Amino acid sequence: MPAQANANVIALQLEKVRDKVPLLYERDDILLTMIQQRGDVEKVSSRNMRLPLQVNPGGKAGSYNADGGDLGRGSGTAYDVAQVSPIFFRFAIEITKLVEYATTGRERAIENAAKREVANGMKQFRSFLDKLMQTAGNGVLGTINSIASTTFTMAVPSGAALVYVGQTVQVYDTTLTTNRGTCNVTAADPINAQTITVDAVPGGTVATDVLVHDGLSGAQPVSLFGIKYHQNTATTGTWLNLNRATYPVQLQTPRVNAGNAALTPSNVRLAINKVRKSLGINHVSKLIAYMAVEQEHAWENLGITVSQIIKEGGSGDGNDLDLLFSGRKTMSGVPIKSSVNADQTRVDFLDLSHWGRAVLKDVDFYEVNGNTVFPIYGASGGLAASYIFYFDTAFQVWDDSPRTGAFIDTLARPTGY
Amino acid sequence: MISVQRETHDTPETIARSLQLAGGINRFREPNYRAVWGWNRLAWIGGKFQERDPATGSLLREVVELRQEPKYPAVNRWHIEKWLPPETYGSPRAWWAQTTEAEGGRSIPALGPYPARGEYELCFTLEGPRGEFVQLTPTVAEHIARAIEWSRRHPRSAGKRALYDREQRQERSYDAYAYDILDDAVPAFHRQPFVAVA
Domain ranges of chain B: 13-153, 158-191
**Under an 8 A CB cutoff, do A270 and B70 touch?**
no
CA angle B91–B97–B102, rounded 5-degree value: 150
Enter the pTM of the model.
0.88
Q: Whole-angstrom Cα distance, residue B25 to residue A99?
A: 67
Q: Is the complex ipTM higher than 0.90?
A: no
Lowest mean pLDDT among B18-32, B48-62, B145-159: B48-62
Query: Which residues of chain B are within 8 Å of residue A255 when distances are taken between CB atoms?
Result: none
Q: Is A350's pLDDT higher than 50? A: yes
Q: Is A54 or B19 the better-scoring residue by pLDDT?
A: B19
Report how many Cβ contacts below 8 Å link chain A to chain B: 194
pLDDT score recorded for residue B40: 95
Q: A406 and A349 in contact (C-beta within 8 Å)? A: yes
Q: Is A315's pLDDT higher than 50? A: no
Domain ranges of chain A: 6-55+79-134+356-398, 140-213, 253-355+400-409
Q: Is A108's pLDDT higher than 70? A: no
Q: B52 and B118 in contact (C-beta within 8 Å)? A: no
Q: Which of residues 109-148 of B touch A (CB under 8 A)?
A: 110-111, 119, 121-131, 134, 140, 143-144, 147-148
pLDDT band at A112 (very low <50, low <70, confident <90, very high): confident
pLDDT tens digit sequence for A202-258: 999 999 999 999 999 999 999 999 999 999 999 999 999 999 999 988 899 999 999
> Closest approach of chain B CAs to the CA of A379, in angstroms?
35
User: What burial letters (b/e) apply to A121-130, b meaning 16+ CB within 10 Å?
Assistant: bbbbbbbbbb
Q: Whole-angstrom Cα distance, residue A229 to residue A102?
A: 47
Query: Which residues of chain B are within 8 Å of residue A282 when distances are taken between CB atoms?
Result: 70, 73, 75
Q: Is A374 or B150 the better-scoring residue by pLDDT?
A: A374
**Under an 8 A CB cutoff, do B111 and A266 touch?**
yes
Q: Is B190's pLDDT higher than 60? A: no
Q: A278 and A414 in contact (C-beta within 8 Å)? A: no
**Under an 8 A CB cutoff, do A304 and B121 touch?**
yes
**Under an 8 A CB cutoff, do B82 and A303 touch?**
yes
Query: Which residues of chain B are within 8 Å of residue A106 when distances are taken between CB atoms?
Result: none
Q: Whole-angstrom Cα distance, residue A170 to residue A160?
A: 14
Query: Which residues of chain B are within 8 Å of residue A338 when distances are taken between CB atoms?
Result: 163
Instruction: Look up the CATH architecture of domain A253-355+400-409.
Output: 2-Layer Sandwich (3.30)
First to last CA, chain A: 62
pLDDT score recorded for residue A1: 42
Helices (H), A135-290: 227-230, 265-279
Reduced to 3 states (helix: H, G, I; strand: E, B; else coil), residue A164 is coil
Q: A305 and B123 in contact (C-beta within 8 Å)? A: yes
**Under an 8 A CB cutoff, do A278 and B50 touch?**
yes
Q: Is A197's pLDDT higher than 50? A: yes
